[in-house]
Chain A
C-alpha cells in the first residue's frame, strides 16, 4: 500500500474517532440527563451553593461563601497553602 494511502487511512480513522467522540458525548448527555436533574433537584431542595470538589478548608469547600480576601484569610498576607489553589484562582467580584 502506498504511504499516502496509509496516511489517508489514518486521517479517516481520526475523523471517525472525532465523530465517535461527538456521538458518545451526545448519547451520554441524553443518558445522564436524569442524573443532572437529580443533582439540580438536591441543590434546590437543600439550598446548596457550592460544589463539593475541594473539602480541605472552608474557603475551598465553599468558595462562593468564603470571605472576600481568600485565599489570604488565615492571617494577613499569608499565602495560599492548599494545592487546590493551583487550579482554582481566588474568587473575583
Chain B
C-alpha cells in the first residue's frame, strides 16, 4: 500500500512539474474552468436557496383563492361571490380581499396596495414596506400623498415601516384601511379583488376548488399548492435564460477543453515518446494523464464552488443582482439563508470533473500505444 501511495506521489510530482512547464496556458485554462464552475454554481445555489425560502414562506399562504375572470382578465367580484364560496361544504371561512397596484411617479416604482384582514392603523394612516421607505425616503410620522382615481391627492400618514427582515415578501407593500383603499382606487363598496378561502380539511381543497368552478363558472380558483408549484417552476434553473447563456459559455469551454485535451501538441507527444523510451509503461503514461486532468479539474471545481458559495451567501449575489433587478426600481434588500442541495453539488462535480479527466486520457492513450521511436520522429 505504501509503495502504491509513494508511486502515485511521484507521478503527481512529475505531472505538476510537467504542467508548470506550460504555466501560462494551464493557468489561463484553470481560470476559465473555475469561472465556468463559479457561474453555474452561483445560479444553482441562488435558485435553490430562493426556492427553499419560497417554500418555507409560502406554506402559510391562503389555502385557496378565488378570482373572477372577465374577458380573460382578472376582474373585481361582488360580495355575493364571497357568500356563495362561504356556503360550500368544507369551507371554514371566506373573506373578500382588497389589493391592487399603484404606480408612484416620484420614485417610478410599482407598489402593492393591500387591505389587511384587521388593519391595525387608523383611517388616514398607512404601513409601508422597507423598500417603499427607501424609495420615497419616508419614515413613521411622514405624510405620504397618493394620487387617487379621481385625480385628487389622498394624503396618508406613515404609521410604521414593516421590519426589514420581512423585505423578501413585503418590500413594496402599502397597507391601508378599507375605506382609504376604496377612496384611492374608486372601488365600489361591496366589491373585492378576490376571495381568500380556508378549508377545514387540506385534502378537500381540490374538491372545493371544483365546486367553486361549478357554482361560479367564470371563477378561477388558485390553490396554495399551485402557488408553491408556480415558484418551483419559475425558479427552476433549467428554465431560465441565464442558464441558456451559461450553457453557451459551458459549451464554448467544453470545446476549448476538448481541443486542449484531445489535440496533443507535438511537444506533448514527444514527451510521451521520451517517457516510453526511458522505460515508462503505457499504464504509467495514462496514470500521469489521469492525474493531470484530475489536478486541473479538482482545483477548478474547488475554487469555483467555494467562490460561488461566498458570492451567493456572503456577497449578496452581487454579480447576478442586475439580472434579478430587471427593470424594477424597487428591489428588496435581502440575504438568502444558505441552503445547498448536495445532489446539485454532486451533479456539478460529475458534469465538470469527470468529462475533463476522460477527455485528457483518451487522446493520450492513443499516443501512448504508438511506438516511441515513431512518436519522437514526428
A interface list, Cβ under 8 A from B:
2-4, 6-7, 10-11, 14, 17-18, 21-22, 24-25, 28-29, 32, 35-36, 38-58, 60-69, 82-93
Interface pair A14/B72, CB less than 8 Å apart: no
* A73, chain B: closest CB distance, angstroms: 8
> What chain A residues lie within 8 Å of B194 (beta carbons)?
65
A87 to B154 CA separation, bound complex (whole angstroms): 37
Q: Mark B10-24, 1 if CB is under 8 A from A, else 0.
A: 101100110010000
Interface pair B110/A61, CB less than 8 Å apart: yes
Interface pair B227/A49, CB less than 8 Å apart: yes
A46 to B169 CA separation, bound complex (whole angstroms): 10
Interface pair B309/A21, CB less than 8 Å apart: yes
Choose the segment among B179-187, B208-216, B295-303, B366-374 that binds chain A (4+ C-beta atoms closer than 8 Å).
B295-303
The residue of chain B having its C-beta at the shortest distance from the C-beta of A2 within the complex is B13
* B305, chain A: closest CB distance, angstroms: 8
Interface pair B16/A91, CB less than 8 Å apart: no
User: CB < 8 Å: which of B163, B233, B326 contacts A38?
Assistant: B163
User: CB < 8 Å: which of B50, B56, B129, B324 contacts A52?
Assistant: B129
> What chain A residues lie within 8 Å of B170 (beta carbons)?
42, 46, 48, 52
> What chain B residues lie within 8 Å of A7 (beta carbons)?
12, 16, 295
> What chain B residues lie within 8 Å of A62 (beta carbons)?
112
Answer whether A65 and B67 are a contact pair too, CB < 8 Å, given A21-B306, A53-B332, A83-B327. Answer: yes
Interface pair A35/B165, CB less than 8 Å apart: yes
> What chain A residues lie within 8 Å of B222 (beta carbons)?
49, 64-65
The residue of chain B having its C-beta at the shortest distance from the C-beta of A83 within the complex is B326
B: number of interface residues (CB 8 Å): 84
> What chain B residues lie within 8 Å of A32 (beta carbons)?
337
Chain B residues 262 to 314 lying within 8 A of chain A, measured CB to CB, are 295, 298-299, 302, 305-306, 309, 313
* B372, chain A: closest CB distance, angstroms: 25
B172 interfacial contact with A, CB 8 Å: yes
B58 interfacial contact with A, CB 8 Å: yes
A4 to B230 CA separation, bound complex (whole angstroms): 50
Interface pair B338/A43, CB less than 8 Å apart: no
> What chain A residues lie within 8 Å of B56 (beta carbons)?
36, 39-40
Interface pair B110/A56, CB less than 8 Å apart: yes
User: CB < 8 Å: which of B116, B173, B299, B329 contacts A10?
Assistant: B299
User: CB < 8 Å: which of B58, B69, B309 contacts A49?
Assistant: B58
> What chain A residues lie within 8 Å of B110 (beta carbons)?
55-58, 61
Interface pair B326/A60, CB less than 8 Å apart: yes
> What chain B residues lie within 8 Å of A56 (beta carbons)?
110, 326-328
Q: A35-B165, A61-B101 are in contact. List 12 more A-B contacts (CB 8 A).
A: A10-B302, A24-B313, A29-B339, A36-B57, A49-B222, A50-B169, A52-B173, A55-B112, A64-B230, A67-B73, A84-B326, A89-B239
A19 to B18 CA separation, bound complex (whole angstroms): 31
* A86, chain B: closest CB distance, angstroms: 4
A84 to B20 CA separation, bound complex (whole angstroms): 44
The residue of chain A having its C-beta at the shortest distance from the C-beta of B116 within the complex is A46
A84 to B220 CA separation, bound complex (whole angstroms): 25
Interface pair B169/A82, CB less than 8 Å apart: no
> What chain A residues lie within 8 Å of B331 (beta carbons)?
55
A38 to B153 CA separation, bound complex (whole angstroms): 34
Interface pair B337/A86, CB less than 8 Å apart: no
Interface pair B13/A47, CB less than 8 Å apart: no
Interface pair A67/B169, CB less than 8 Å apart: no
B177 interfacial contact with A, CB 8 Å: no
A62 to B113 CA separation, bound complex (whole angstroms): 13
User: CB < 8 Å: which of B9, B59, B299 contacts A2?
Assistant: B9
Chain B residues 21 to 72 lying within 8 A of chain A, measured CB to CB, are 50, 53-54, 56-62, 65, 67, 69, 72
